């Protein structure tokens, strides 16, 4: 078990990649704080983890609200005593071409995907900085954040932004024994990508040398590696998990 007895806080853990990551971490021995906007989803994931014989708590959080984030962190520390890993997985899309995108569409995605990562990381980093063994912060970026994508100005901006934050924090927090990295998934089969046109998904599948889309497990495995002591000398990195779609 690569994460035995580590405490992991995962946002956006109620479904998709977040849910799969929470369960993966539990299978690797971690104690998991499952955080999401949906209480019902949180309770379902906690139930699945407990069914594996692992410890978990469910937390309802709005990552755009500083007080909600503060309570999430406080409740995690109160229950487990520390936080070893933060996975900033919470994210949304609200797509439109530049000439049609509204300010509301822009700001909504910025608030969750960028400001939410800042708020969660700042709150958790304060806890990790006081811990003897520091911790690990992992940001969910995207292939889109590195290369851009038609109709996703807001999403691309946030996913590029979390890479910049990860690299900055790696430089700032290394002396506190805190590692910070980003994972950049390609097109993954999730409820979010289910909203994309089928012809687009087929096109992306065809571009991958592996001839398939990714699965949430592919990303969860990457997070588990980066969170583990096996990655103890990796910080400030961006791990692309995209099936080679950009080669």
Give mean pLDDT, residues 209-227: 96
Q: What are phi and psi of 171, to 5 degrees?
A: -70, -40
7-239 has which CATH code? 3.40.50.720
β-partners of residue 184 are: 240
- Return the domain boundaries, the chain: 7-239
Tell me the per-residue pLDDT of 31-58, one tens digit each, with 9 for 90 and over: 999 999 999 999 999 999 999 999 999 9
Q: Which residues pair with 136 in a beta bridge?
A: 85, 179
Q: What is the pLDDT of residues 165-178, one digit of tens each?
A: 999 999 999 999 99
The confidence score (pLDDT) of residue 88 equals 98
Q: How do residues 142-152 score in pLDDT, each as one tens digit?
A: 999 999 999 99
Residues 189/213, Cβ–Cβ less than 8 Å:
yes
Out of 147, 155, 215, 223, which one is annotated catalytic?
155
**Average pLDDT value for residue range 211-225:** 96
User: Is 155 among the residues known to form the active site?
Assistant: yes
CA distance 205 to 213: 5
In this prediction the pTM is 0.96
Mean pLDDT, rounded, for 201-218: 90
C-beta separation of 54 from 37 below 8 A: no
Q: What is the pLDDT of residue 201?
A: 80
Query: Is the pLDDT assigned to residue 192 strictly greater than 70?
Result: no
- For residues 52 and 23, the answer to whether their CB atoms sit within 8 Å is yes
Nearby residues of 205 by Cβ (< 8 Å), 6 or more positions away:
187, 211, 212, 213
């Amino acid at each position: 078990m690569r994460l035995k007895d580590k405490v992991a806080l995962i946002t956006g853990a109620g479904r998709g990649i977040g849910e799969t990551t929470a369960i993966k971490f539990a299978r690797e021995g971690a104690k998991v704080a499952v955080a999401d906007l949906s209480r019902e989803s949180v309770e379902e994931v906690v139930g699945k983890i407990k069914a594996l014989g692992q410890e978990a708590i469910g937390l309802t959080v709005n990552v755009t609200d500083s007080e909600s984030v503060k309570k999430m962190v406080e409740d995690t520390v109160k229950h487990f005593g520390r936080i070893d890993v933060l996975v900033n997985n919470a994210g949304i899309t609200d797509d439109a071409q530049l000439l049609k995108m509204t300010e509301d569409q822009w700001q909504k995605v910025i608030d969750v995907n960028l400001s939410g990562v800042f708020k969660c990381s700042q709150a958790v980093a304060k806890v990790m900085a006081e811990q003897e063994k520091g911790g690990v912060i992992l940001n969910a970026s995207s292939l889109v954040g590195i290369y851009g994508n038609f109709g996703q100005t807001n999403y691309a901006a946030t996913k590029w932004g979390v890479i910049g934050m990860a690299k900055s924090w790696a430089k700032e927090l290394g002396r506190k024994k805190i590692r910070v990295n980003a994972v950049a998934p390609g097109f993954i089969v999730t409820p979010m990508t289910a909203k994309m046109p089928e012809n687009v998904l087929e096109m992306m599948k065809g571009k991958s040398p592996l001839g398939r889309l990714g699965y949430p497990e592919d990303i969860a495995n990457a997070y588990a590696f980066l969170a583990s002591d096996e990655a103890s000398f990796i910080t400030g990195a961006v791990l692309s998990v995209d099936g080679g779609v950009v080669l």
